[in-house]
């Protein structure tokens, strides 16, 4: 990763992350096909909904004949973390038009958000529309293509979990977290590891009493608060 913020570099920076989309996108396509969705329906869901975890929720709930209100509410809770991520990105896009900000926010994902946070370490804490838009589009096109391929292959693979496809997203986040920790020189290593450990403990204890989708949002808020407090105390 370099300090350039061009569209070409945005594409290049996103390529390693896109490989994670391939595995999980194919897995979604296979699961969608096994739940009687056509390849066209799978592709349209990936293009319009474009929310990996939420798409799995939609397919599983639809298979159980859940009502539409329950599905909509569940998807909102799963994706509510994007509100927090968008507020973090907004200050770096304040010179852009409202339309461009809406477009960036529309295609923002966990992965492109994490990638942008890592990019800040190389650019003197700057981001550009060209770089971000290229990164978002690369992830978007990879996701819908992979899910379409998964749908087409659905009849051939009946149990995607036996190939470990479900771990692709987790592995990608571990890699992004590692890159963030080793490249960010503005925050002491002890503080970063402390926040990681704190969030891990919150998630571990919270899973026993709080639904995981809500817990994810709570852990993110507590982690941010803990990190800011720790930074000021130990500066």
Could you write out the DSSP letters of every residue in 104-115?
HHHH--HHHHHH
Phi-psi domain of 37 (left: phi exceeds 0; alpha: psi -120 through 50; beta: other)? beta
- pLDDT given at position 66: 79
Question: What gap in Å lies between CA 189 and CA 178, rounded to an integer?
Answer: 11
With cut-offs at 50, 70 and 90, classify the pLDDT of residue 107: very high
Cβ neighbourhood burial of 105 (10 Å; 0-12, 13-18, 19+): middle
Which pLDDT value is given to residue 91?
Answer: 93
Report pTM.
0.74
Measured distance CA(60)–CA(121) in Å, rounded = 39
Tokens 């890699």 locate to 175
The reported pLDDT for the residue numbered 145 is 94
State both tokens at 65: 């004949």
Question: What would the two tokens of residue 192 be?
Answer: 């970063």
Residues 6+ apart with CB under 8 A from 96: 104, 129
Question: In this predicted structure, what is the pLDDT of residue 10?
Answer: 93
């Amino acid at each position: 990763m370099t300090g350039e913020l061009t569209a070409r570099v945005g594409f290049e920076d996103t390529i390693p992350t896109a490989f994670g989309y391939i595995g999980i996108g194919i897995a979604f396509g296979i699961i969608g096909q096994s739940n009687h969705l056509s390849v066209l329906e799978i592709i349209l869901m990936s293009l319009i909904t474009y929310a990996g975890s939420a798409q799995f929720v939609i397919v599983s709930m639809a298979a159980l004949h859940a009502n539409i209100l329950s599905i909509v509410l569940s998807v909102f809770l799963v994706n509510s973390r994007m509100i927090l991520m968008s507020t973090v990105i907004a200050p770096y896009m304040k010179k852009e038009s409202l339309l461009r900000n809406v477009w960036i926010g529309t295609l923002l994902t966990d992965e492109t958000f994490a990638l942008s946070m890592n990019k800040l370490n190389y650019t003197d804490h700057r981001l550009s529309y060209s770089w971000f838009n290229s990164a978002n589009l690369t992830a978007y096109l990879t996701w819908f293509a992979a899910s379409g391929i998964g749908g087409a292959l659905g009849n051939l693979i009946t149990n995607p979990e036996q190939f470990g496809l479900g771990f692709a997203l987790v592995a990608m986040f571990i890699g992004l977290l590692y890159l963030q920790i080793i490249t960010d020189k503005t925050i002491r290593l002890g503080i970063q590891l402390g926040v990681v450990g704190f969030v891990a403990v919150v998630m571990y204890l919270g899973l026993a009493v709080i639904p995981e989708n809500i817990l994810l949002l709570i852990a993110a808020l507590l982690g941010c608060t803990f990190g800011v407090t720790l930074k000021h105390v130990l500066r």
